[in-house]
Amino acid sequence: MTIGALSALAVKHEKPGEKPHKLADGGGMFLLVDPKGGKYWRLAYRFAGKQKTLALGTYPEVSLEQARKGRDKAREQLRNGTDPGMVRKVEKLTSYQQAENSFEIVSREWHGKFKPTWTEHTAEKNIRILELNAFPWIGSRPIGEIKAPELLAVLRRVEERGLLDTAHRLRMVAGMVFRYAIATGRAERDPSQDLKGALPPHRQKHMPAITDIAEFGGLLRDIWAYQGGFSTCCALRLSALFGLRPGEIRHLEWSEVDYESKLIRIPMGKMKARRMHVVPLTDAAITILEALQKLTGRGRLCFPGMVNKERPMSENTVNLALRRMGYSGDEATAHGFRSSFSTIAHGSGKWRPEVVEVQLAHKHGDATRLAYDRGDFLKERKDLMDWWAVECEKMRIGADVIKIKKKSAA
C-alpha cells in the first residue's frame, strides 16, 4: 500500500468492531481501532532484525497529519541507524529526570535537609521567599539549565516592586539551592555568583528605636492607651517588657510559658543563637499573659493569626499598630524595643553588660569564653527584668526614673 492511503474523514468515521482491527496508511503506520472505540496510531518497523512497534499517539488528540510527521521522523532515525523506540525511552527518561530536578523540587529538598539547622523563623522565611518570588517563574525549569540572565530577570521583578533587600536575600537563598544542586550532581555551576554587582547595593539602615527616657515613656503611654485588637495590645506591651525579637514573641507558644516558675523557655530551634533562651516573667508580664490566655489559650500559639490559627500573627502587626499611633517607620519599630531596653539597661550602670546581653539572647565574649561559660545569670536576669518592669511603669506615668550614665571622654 502506498503512503497516504488514509483520509482524515475515513479516520473520523471508522467504527469499532467486535475485535481490534487496523487501518494501514503506508510506510508501516496504521490506525488500531479497539472494540470500545479507542483509536491509536502505531508504527511497525524492524531494527537489528527484530520486529517492533512505536506508539505515535491517540486519535483525535493526535491528528492524521501529526501522526504522519511522527512516522516520518521515526523513519529518518531508522535511516540513520537509530532505533526510534530507544530514542523515545531516552526522551521519557530525560523528561522525568528534568521534572525531578526542577528548581522547585531541588529547592524543597534542600529546605527539608537544612531546616533542622535553622530557627523556625529562618526556615519559614527561606521557603516563602522562593514560593512567592521564584517558583512561579523558574520553579518548573531544570535547575541545571538555569543561566544567570534568567535568574537576574527573577531578581529584577522583586527589585522593581521596591523590595531591594528581598531581591538580595533571594539571590543569596537561590545561591544556596544551586550549590546544593552542584553537590548532588544536578547542576554544574551557581549562576547567582555571576550576578554579584547586578543589583544596587543594600541600603544600610539601623532599626529605628526610641532610647530617650522621656520619649520612651510617651511611647509606653501610647501603647497602654492603644485601642486596637486585644492580641495586638498584648503583643505591644510584652514587646516593651521582654526585649525579645519580634519573631520570638509572635511564635511564642503556651507550652513554653510556666507561671509556676515564672519563666518562659524558648527552645533553641526558634532562637537565632541556636540555644534555649529562658526569659524571667515579671508580675506585669504574667498579668498580660493571663488575660491573653483567656482569648487564645485553647490553641497552640499565644499570638495566632487572624485567618489561620496555626500560623503566628503577621510580622507587620505590631509595626502597623505603631503607625496607627502616629509613629513613623523612622521613629519606632517592633525590633526597636530591644534597642530601647538595651540602651537604658546598659546606661543605668546597675547591671553587668553580660547579664543584659544574655537577656537579649546575644552571644557575649569570645569563643573561648563562650565554650566555658555555661551560666545564664538567671538570678541576676530576674532582678534585671523586675527592675525593667518597674522602670517602664515609672516612665509610663512620668515619675522619676534612673538616669543613664554617659561615658566620659577618653
Catalytic residue check, 338:
yes
What percent of the chain has a predicted confidence (pLDDT) above 70?
88
The active-site residue out of 121, 171, 245, 250 is 245
φ, ψ (nearest 5 deg) of residue 278: -105, 125
Dihedral, CA of residue 106, residue 109, residue 110 and residue 112, to nearest 10: 160
Query: Residues 292, 231: contact at Cβ < 8 Å?
Result: yes
How much is the pLDDT for 76? 92
Q: What is the pLDDT of residues 2-43, one digit of tens each?
A: 567 889 999 999 999 999 999 999 889 999 999 999 999 999
C-alpha neighbours within 13 Å on the C-beta side of residue 309: 7
The active-site residue out of 362, 369, 379, 403 is 362
Give all domains of the chain, ordered by start, each with its CATH number. Answer: 8-91 (3.30.160.390), 103-195 (1.10.150.130), 213-397 (1.10.443.10)
How much is the pLDDT for 409? 39
Q: Determine the angle formed by the axes of helices 230-242 and 213-225, rounding to 10 degrees.
A: 160
Q: What b/e sequence results for 24-36 when a residue is b if at least 16 CB atoms lie within 10 Å of its CB, and e otherwise? A: ebebbbbbbbeee
Positive or negative torsion for Cα 12, 13, 18, 21: negative
Q: What is the pLDDT of residues 132-143, one digit of tens each?
A: 999 999 999 999
Stretch 367-373: mean pLDDT, rounded? Answer: 39
Catalytic residue check, 245:
yes
Catalytic residue check, 237:
no
Count the Cβ atoms, other than its own, within 10 Å of residue 234.
21
CA end-to-end span of the chain, whole Å? 104
The active-site residue out of 21, 141, 157, 272 is 272
Identify the three-state secondary structure at position 140: coil
Q: Is the pTM of this model over 0.95?
A: no
The active-site residue out of 372, 374, 406, 407 is 372
Which grid cell is 183?
Answer: 553537590
How much is the pLDDT for 40? 95
Q: Which residues pair with 262 in a beta bridge?
A: none
Catalytic residue check, 121:
no
Task: Mention every residue, 6+ apart, whose C-beta is less than 8 A from residue 95.
Answer: none
Which grid cell is 82?
Answer: 537509530
Which grid cell is 401?
Answer: 526614673
Stretch 69-73: mean pLDDT, rounded? Answer: 92
CA proximity to 278, closest of 157, 166, 177, 378: 378
Q: What is the pLDDT of residues 183-210, one digit of tens each?
A: 988 899 999 999 998 999 876 555 678 8
Stretch 327-350: mean pLDDT, rounded? Answer: 90
Query: Residues 358, 376: contact at Cβ < 8 Å?
Result: yes
Q: What is the pLDDT of residues 244-267, one digit of tens each?
A: 889 899 999 999 999 999 999 988
The active-site residue out of 335, 346, 382, 394 is 335
Q: Is the pLDDT of residue 402 over 70?
A: no
Catalytic residue check, 168:
no
Catalytic residue check, 335:
yes
Largest separation between any pair of C-alpha atoms in the chain: 107
Range with the lowest mean pLDDT among 114-123, 180-189, 289-298? 114-123
